[in-house]
């Protein structure tokens, strides 16, 4: 028998609480409790700790972001899925929620909430179950993490202009990408990224990272050049490929179906980099659920690229890195705190043709 999954719904709307309760209470193995605000939720958590929380952000007495921040600072953080009208596509609030530790964002309409919940039942169930599986991998925020000693980057990297770093991430990837990119020097190799994220969220996410980093971070546009000191993030619902044009690389955006269950897909990115850059590439697979990116990273390795994967201890979900390791696609397994240094160290090794 599957273990019971305890869900706590924290929302000040009685319509939402009753709607979610009626939708989920008949799901096999799922037990649902409700609370009208975070203070009531705290009291309920003292007697019965939930496995996952479905959280609104706009509530009386304590807002959802503050509650989320407190949850992530606990000794054993509870996984959180945000379902809020404030966290619409492209909003700063949605990006803030992801950076504070939410594992998924489900935008909630201002009108027609009941119909929306009924139509979104399958997504709600999947999101809550996926988040609960990530519970043991959540990192307590505000807690010192044992870091690998950092070596200061050189003032100038000895790299050719045609190096490219391809990065894939999913659940937990927003924080992992922040740690990876914040440490990058202004003359780092060009970086292309697929982060599983809904359409229109990636623009706000890229802008937020751009404010935090020494390099340029932007949502990729058709024909953008991959160049030193720049990171390009695939837009939600568009595949991103890299192609070589003369002596440099450019990105192209594509529609089409899901690949490896996702759009954008890490496999699509990695396989294009394997073809376009070969041994002049570095592949990095970060935290995430499922297997997207594992086959693509293997293609990169077979093409001569250096390949790295985030280690289990620092992953929120070890699924994607584990799948790549099991395929023999990974040269080195690295903690997220040491990933930037590992990328730069390999980038300094000039390939001579």
Examine the pLDDT at 154 and tell me if it is beyond 70.
no
DSSP 251-309: EEEE----BTTBSS-HHHHHHHHHHHHGGGEEEEE-S-SSSTTHHHHHHHHHTT-EEEE
Q: Tell me the three state secondary structure of residue 250.
A: strand
Q: Which residue has tokens 């759009």?
A: 263
| 327 CB neighbour count, 10 Å cutoff | 14
pLDDT at position 23 is 86
pLDDT above 70: percentage of residues in the chain: 88
Examine the pLDDT at 337 and tell me if it is beyond 90.
yes
pLDDT bucket at 126, cuts 50 / 70 / 90: confident
Examine the pLDDT at 202 and tell me if it is beyond 70.
yes
Sheet holding 30-35, edge to edge: 30-35, 5-10, 52-55, 80-84, 104-107
pLDDT bucket at 334, cuts 50 / 70 / 90: very high
User: Is residue 220 a contact partner of residue 192, using CB atoms and an 8 Å limit?
Assistant: yes
Among the ranges 15-24, 114-123, 265-274, which has the highest mean pLDDT value?
A: 265-274
Examine the pLDDT at 323 and tell me if it is beyond 90.
yes
Q: Average pLDDT, stretch 61-74?
A: 88
Q: Average pLDDT, stretch 101-122?
A: 78
pLDDT at position 89 is 60
- Report pLDDT digits (tens) over 88-100: 665 778 788 887 8
Q: Average pLDDT, stretch 134-155?
A: 48
User: Which two structure tokens, joined as six digits, stand for 308?
Assistant: 């790295």
For the annotated catalytic residues, the residue numbers are 170, 196, 292
Phi-psi region of 223 (alpha: psi -120 to 50; beta: other; left: phi over 0): left
pLDDT above 90: percentage of residues in the chain: 56
Burial of 256 (0-12, 13-18, 19+ CB in 10 A): exposed
Q: What angle do CA 168, 174, 176 make, to 5 degrees?
A: 70
pLDDT bucket at 301, cuts 50 / 70 / 90: very high
Examine the pLDDT at 108 and tell me if it is beyond 60.
yes
Examine the pLDDT at 1 and tell me if it is beyond 70.
no
- Report pLDDT digits (tens) over 234-288: 999 999 999 988 778 999 999 989 999 999 999 999 999 999 999 999 999 999 9
Examine the pLDDT at 136 and tell me if it is beyond 50.
yes
Pairing mode of beta strands 239-245, 248-254: antiparallel
Residues whose CB is less than 8 angstroms from the CB of residue 127 and which lie 6 or more positions away in sequence, other chains included: 81, 103, 104, 106
Examine the pLDDT at 70 and tell me if it is beyond 80.
yes
Give, in order, the Cα–Cα distances in Å from 226 to each of 64, 84, 270, 320: 38, 35, 14, 25
pTM equals: 0.73
Q: Please, what's the b/e burial string for 301-313 (b: 16 or more CB within 10 A of its CB; e: otherwise)? A: bebebbbbbbbee
pLDDT at position 200 is 77
């Amino acid at each position: 028998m599957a273990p019971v999954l305890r869900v706590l719904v924290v929302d000040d709307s009685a319509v939402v609480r009753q709607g979610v309760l009626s939708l989920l209470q008949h799901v096999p193995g799922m037990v649902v409790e409700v609370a009208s605000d975070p203070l009531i939720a705290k009291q309920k958590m003292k007697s019965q700790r939930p496995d996952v929380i479905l959280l609104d952000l706009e509530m009386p007495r304590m807002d959802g972001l503050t509650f989320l921040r407190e949850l992530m600072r606990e000794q054993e953080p509870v996984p959180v899925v945000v379902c809020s009208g404030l966290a619409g596509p492209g909003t700063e609030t949605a990006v803030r929620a992801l950076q504070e530790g939410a594992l998924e964002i489900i935008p909630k309409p201002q009108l027609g909430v009941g119909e929306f919940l009924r139509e979104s039942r399958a997504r709600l169930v999947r999101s809550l179950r996926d988040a609960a599986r990530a519970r043991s991998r959540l990192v307590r925020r505000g807690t010192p993490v044992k870091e690998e000693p950092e070596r200061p980057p050189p003032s100038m990297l000895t790299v050719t202009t045609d190096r490219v770093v391809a990065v894939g991430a999913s659940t937990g990837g927003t924080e992992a990408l922040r740690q990876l990119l914040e440490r990058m020097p202004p003359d780092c190799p060009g970086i292309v990224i697929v982060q599983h994220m809904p359409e229109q969220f990636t623009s706000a996410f890229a802008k937020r990272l751009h404010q935090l980093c020494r390099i340029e971070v932007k949502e990729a546009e058709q024909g953008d050049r991959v160049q030193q000191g720049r990171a390009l993030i695939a837009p939600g619902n568009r595949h991103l490929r890299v192609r070589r044009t003369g002596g440099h690389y450019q990105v192209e955006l594509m529609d089409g179906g899901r690949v490896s269950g996702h759009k954008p897909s890490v496999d699509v990115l990695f396989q294009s980099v394997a073809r376009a850059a070969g041994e002049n590439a570095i592949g990095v697979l970060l935290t995430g659920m499922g297997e997207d990116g594992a086959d693509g990273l293997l293609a990169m390795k077979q093409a001569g690229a250096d390949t790295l994967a985030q280690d289990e201890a620092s992953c929120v979900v070890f699924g994607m890195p584990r799948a790549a390791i099991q395929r023999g696609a990974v040269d080195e397994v690295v903690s997220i705190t040491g990933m930037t240094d590992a990328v730069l160290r390999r980038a300094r090794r000039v390939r001579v043709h």
